[in-house]
Amino acid sequence: MKISTILRHLREGMKNIARNGWMSFASISSIVTSLFILGSFVLLALNVNNLAAQIESQVEIRVFLQVDVDQAKIDQVRNEIGNISEVKEVRFVSKDEGLDILRKNLGESGDELLEGYEKDKNPLPDSFTVEVFDPQSIAYAAKKIEVINKTDESHPIEGIKYGKGKVETLFKLTNAVRNIGLVIVAGLAVTAMFLISTTIKTTIMARRREISIMKLVGATNHFIRWPFFIEGALIGLIGSVLTTAILLFGYSRLIQVSQFELGLLMIKLAPMKEVWFIVCLLIIGLGTLIGIWGSTLSIRKYLKV
């Protein structure tokens, strides 16, 4: 196709949008409304996924050592745990540091309750805090640490804790939340597709007499189709760009306004840099494709005249 022909179809498509102002406005409004609802749920799903990831990232393994373990054995156990493929980081927590942590966790009454347990009277064992790459593999990593203890004749590890039972329930809950969010977003996407395409079909149907006249005076299907094709794409693009701008502006304001309140609850919204590309790609891409799809399906029926 020649460049001049492409430019001609592009001009005609833009003229059609301006010439049919109210119908174009109705189509764009339908796109903005439908995609805004979809985009809002996409942002909600992204933040639910982000919150689930925050919760999962706090899951860790605590490895408590025997009281009489010497420094050489501590270093050996740390190296063996660090060599486990699932383990990301191993941090040694001395019994004195553990006592300080316990004192802080007890709050104002910590000093009184733990008075006299310093230095040689400290009953807490040395321990390791183990962080894994994938929180879902924490139980598997804990089993490997148990194997290390069993294969060592001195059995240097007294206990391994990672919230067994509760952690598995937590992962089932977060996975369920993610799956439910995915189903809702997919359902809304399908609904938006049919709603927007129906609106665009209505716009094309209102001009079926124009199409019939063009066919009767000898215009080819190709000549008729392309301006409508471009018109649908432009309507979808305009509506989706407007929606994206509204969503991202509103979300940025939400981050600013709720930052302090959510910070008190130790909750962080997904940062803008992690959501803007997904929102732009999904909303603008979907809106433009629906505009093209709706106009293509509608014009096909009236080209048979």
Q: What is the pLDDT of residue 242?
A: 92
Question: Which helix (H) or strand (E) element contains residue 89?
Answer: strand 87-93
Q: What is the pLDDT of residue 305?
A: 47
Q: What is the pLDDT of residue 264?
A: 45
121 CB contacts (<8 Å, ≥6 apart)?
Answer: none
The Cα–Cα gap between 227 and 101 comes to 70
Do 89 and 130 meet the contact criterion of CB atoms below 8 Å apart? Answer: yes
Q: How many CA atoms, within 13 angstroms, populate the side-chain half-sphere of residue 97?
A: 8
From the centroid of its chain, how far is CA 305? 48
Q: For the chain, what are the domain ranges?
A: 3-56+169-302, 60-162
**177 has pLDDT over 90:** no
Please tell me what DSSP assigns to residue 304.
Answer: T
Do 81 and 90 meet the contact criterion of CB atoms below 8 Å apart? Answer: yes
pLDDT digits (tens, 9 = 90+) for 92-114: 888 777 777 666 766 666 666 66
And the tokens for 150?
Answer: 């069993």
Q: Quick one: fold of 60-162?
A: Alpha-Beta Plaits (3.30.70)
Least confident of 74-88, 141-155, 191-205: 191-205
**74 has pLDDT over 70:** yes
Q: Where are the alpha helices (DSSP H) in the chain?
A: 3-19, 21-57, 71-82, 95-105, 110-113, 138-151, 166-205, 208-216, 221-264, 272-302
pLDDT: which is higher, 224 or 177: 177
Do 212 and 305 meet the contact criterion of CB atoms below 8 Å apart? Answer: yes
The Cα–Cα gap between 276 and 25 comes to 26
Radius of gyration of the chain (CA): 31
Q: What is the pLDDT of residue 248?
A: 92
pLDDT: which is higher, 59 or 144: 144
**45 has pLDDT over 60:** yes
Q: Is the whole-model pTM more than 0.75?
A: no
Highest mean pLDDT among 26-30, 86-90, 205-209: 86-90
Nearest to 303 by CA among 202, 226, 200: 226
**271 has pLDDT over 80:** yes
Which residue(s) pair with 132 in the sheet?
Answer: 87
